[in-house]
Amino acid sequence: MSPIQRITAVVAAALAILAVWQLERARSGIEITSIEVGDTPASIYRMPDATGPVVVIAHGFAGSRQMMEAFALTLARAGYTAVSFDFLGHGQHPAPMTGDITRIEGTTMRLLEQTAAVIDAALALDGVQADVALVGHSMASDIVIRQTIADPRVAATVAVSMYSEAISDEVPDRLLVITGEWEPGLREVAIDALRLVDPEAKEGDTVAGNGVTRRAAVSPMVEHVGVLYSATSLREALAWIDAAFGRQSTGDVAATGGWIALLLVAIVVLAWPLSALLPKGDGRPPTPSARTFLAAILVPALLTPLILYPIELTILPVLVADYLMLHLLIYGLIALGILAWAGVRLGGFAWLATIALLAFGLGVFGLALDRYAASFVPHAGRIVLVLVIALGAVPFMVADSMLTEAGYARLWRRLAARFAFFGSLGLAVALDFERLFFLIIALPVIILFFVVFGLMGRWVGRRTGRASAPGIALGLILAWALAVTFPLVAG
Of 259, 137, 151, nearest to 186 by C-alpha is: 137
Query: Band of the pLDDT at 322, cuts 50, 70, 90?
Result: confident
Last residue of a domain, one of 258, 293, 313: 258
Say how many CA atoms lie within 13 Å of 30 toward its Cβ.
Answer: 27
- Look up residue 268 and give its DSSP letter: H
**Is 308 part of a structural domain of the chain?**
yes
Last residue of a domain, one of 195, 223, 258: 258
Residues 145 and 21 in one domain: yes
**Is 273 part of a structural domain of the chain?**
no
Residues 153 and 300 in one domain: no
- Look up residue 106 and give its DSSP letter: I
Contact 82, 53 (CB under 8 A): no
- Taken in order 275, 276, 282, 288, the sign of the CA dihedral is positive
Query: Band of the pLDDT at 112, cuts 50, 70, 90?
Result: very high
d(CA 253, CA 232): 9
Q: How far is CA 168 from CA 137, 159, 201, 206, 253, in A?
A: 19, 15, 15, 16, 31
The full DSSP string for 127-143 is: T--S-EEEEEETHHHHH
The full DSSP string for 312-337 is: ----SSBTTHHHHHHHHHHHHHHHHH
Find the range with the poorest average confidence among 288-297, 395-404, 443-452: 443-452
Contact 33, 43 (CB under 8 A): yes
Selected residue with higher pLDDT from 210 and 315: 210
Contact 471, 283 (CB under 8 A): no
Of 162, 80, 172, nearest to 122 by C-alpha is: 80
Name the phi and psi angles at 288, rounded to 5.
-65, 145
Query: Band of the pLDDT at 36, cuts 50, 70, 90?
Result: very high
Find the range with the poorest average confidence among 44-48, 95-99, 134-138: 95-99
For range 221-226, the mean pLDDT: 96
Of 54, 126, 41, 49, nearest to 91 by C-alpha is: 41
Element (H, E) at 31: strand 31-37
- pLDDT value at 409 more than 90: yes
Residues 223 and 358 in one domain: no
Amino acid symbol at 73: L
Its domain, for residue 241, covers 3-258
For range 388-397, the mean pLDDT: 96
pLDDT of 20 reads 98
Of 30, 17, 18, nearest to 251 by C-alpha is: 30
Find the range with the poorest average confidence among 38-42, 336-340, 437-441: 437-441
Residues 204 and 333 in one domain: no
- List, in sequence order, every residue forming a beta bridge with 32; answer none if it has no partner: 45
pLDDT of 22 reads 97
Q: How many domains does the chain have?
A: 2
Highest mean pLDDT among 128-132, 230-234, 381-385: 230-234
- pLDDT value at 366 more than 90: yes
Tens-place pLDDT, residues 435-456: 888 888 788 888 999 999 999 9
Of 117, 129, 124, 104, nearest to 41 by C-alpha is: 117
d(CA 482, CA 480): 6
Residues 369 and 407 in one domain: yes
Residues ≥6 apart with Cβ < 8 Å to 79: 47, 49, 50, 51, 52, 247, 249
pLDDT of 312 reads 80
- pLDDT value at 277 more than 90: yes
**H-assigned helices in 125-230:** 139-150, 184-195
- pLDDT value at 166 more than 70: yes
Residues 303 and 215 in one domain: no
Residues 402 and 253 in one domain: no
Find the range with the poorest average confidence among 260-264, 291-295, 412-416, 444-448: 444-448
Average pLDDT, the chain: 93
pLDDT of 437 reads 81
**Is 245 part of a structural domain of the chain?**
yes
d(CA 23, CA 17): 10
Q: The domain spanning residue 241 has which CATH number?
A: 3.40.50.1820
**Is 373 part of a structural domain of the chain?**
yes
pLDDT of 313 reads 74
Query: Band of the pLDDT at 101, cuts 50, 70, 90?
Result: low
**Is 267 part of a structural domain of the chain?**
no
Angle at 121 between CA 117 and CA 126, to 5 degrees: 170
CB atoms within 10 A of CB 257: 21
d(CA 450, CA 422): 12
pLDDT of 491 reads 62
Residues 241 and 288 in one domain: no
Residues 203 and 332 in one domain: no
**Is 101 part of a structural domain of the chain?**
yes
- pLDDT value at 105 more than 80: no
pLDDT of 174 reads 96
**Is 412 part of a structural domain of the chain?**
yes
- pLDDT value at 284 more than 90: no
Query: Band of the pLDDT at 418, cuts 50, 70, 90?
Result: very high
d(CA 71, CA 460): 38
Residues 173 and 296 in one domain: no
Residues 230 and 288 in one domain: no
For range 36-48, the mean pLDDT: 96
Nearest-10 Cα torsion for 181, 220, 61, 154: -110
Find the range with the poorest average confidence among 81-85, 347-351, 389-393, 424-428: 347-351
Residues 485 and 377 in one domain: yes
**Is 417 part of a structural domain of the chain?**
yes
Last residue of a domain, one of 258, 293, 310: 258
Query: Band of the pLDDT at 100, cuts 50, 70, 90?
Result: confident
pLDDT of 51 reads 84
CB atoms within 10 A of CB 260: 22
Contact 54, 244 (CB under 8 A): no
- pLDDT value at 242 more than 70: yes
103-114 b/e (C-beta count within 10 Å ≥ 16 → b): eeeebbebbbeb
Name the phi and psi angles at 183, rounded to 5.
-125, 70
C-alpha 51, offset from chain centre? 33
